[in-house]
Amino acid sequence: MRKVTLAATQFACSWNEEETLDKAEKIVRDAAAAGANVILLQELFERPYFCKTHKYEYLHLATKMEDNTAVKRFQSVARELHVVLPICFYEDAGNLAFNCVAMIDADGTILGKYRKTHIPDGVPYAEKFYFAPGDTGFRVWDTQFGKIGVGICWDQWFPEAARCMALMGAEILLYPTAIGSEPDLGIDSMPHWRNCMQGHAAANIMPLVASNRVGYEEQDYTNITFYGSSFIAGPDGEIVASADRESETFVTAQFDLDAVASMRREWGVFRDRRPEMYGELLTMGETGKDER
């Protein structure tokens, strides 16, 4: 029996970075005090989501992983509280920059980093201006509290990403996120957002955590109201813990990873896969072949 308690957090961010990091640390400490072993903070939480529009001055916000204030601070916090903390930050990689997660284990060690694979483009999520597509491939880390795969925000809409991490041995899927109102589309994307990830949990038969931010943010000619709704889904896809749309808070849920592994084997979905039949996944869609 390997029991692990997962936490999803959410809070609003400001340009007062010290204040925002203090807020993030308090939520981490509160979640740890509630028994959490793996605590997920939201995407790019050091400051407001700056990718709403194109602003050249924001390109200079990127830092090397070893110099990033949040990464260094939460290494110490992880070590002190004995918790796993994936930290999402804006990475300076010389001529390129990436939307990146540093995976910090419960002893404060950085196990490695993952660079966001799928980069959205279009106001108010104009990320291609700031980030190159990730070149790390999907990553799974053997932490002190289980094997963890992490995708970042837009990655969560792609079942291929979740399945790749599952095939690499992931036992838990984590998705730090920044998503909210869709001013150009005029829709509430929250139910679709959740449904996609619940499908990943169910199809791969493993728990999944999504952490989003809350609050209203305005930049130039656009704005977003981030809708929170951070949640934890179980291995059958059911939501077992959920935050609301506005509160700065956290939620937790506990799983027995050995019991989940048994469930995954018993369902046989990995046994019955036919990878030789999935060649179409290596195309962009219509291949031009006519089999009639």
Catalytic residues: 43, 116, 153
Q: Are 116 and 98 in contact (CB under 8 A)?
A: yes
Secondary structure of residue 156 in the 3-state scheme? helix
d(CA 184, CA 215): 18
Helices (H), the chain: 17-33, 69-81, 159-167, 190-204, 257-267
DSSP 108: S
Helix axes 69-81, 17-33, angle to 10 degrees: 20
Look at strands 208-211 and 172-176 and give their pairing.
Answer: parallel
Q: What are the beta bridge partners of residue 143?
A: 146
Residue burial 205-243, b: 16+ Cβ < 10 Å; e: rest: bbbbbbbbbbbebebeeeebebbbbbbbbbbebebbbbb
d(CA 243, CA 172): 19
Sign for the pseudo-dihedral over CA of 27, 83, 73, 29: positive
The CA-based diameter of the chain, rounded to the nearest angstrom, is 64
Q: Are 136 and 168 in contact (CB under 8 A)?
A: no
And the tokens for 192?
Answer: 């679709």
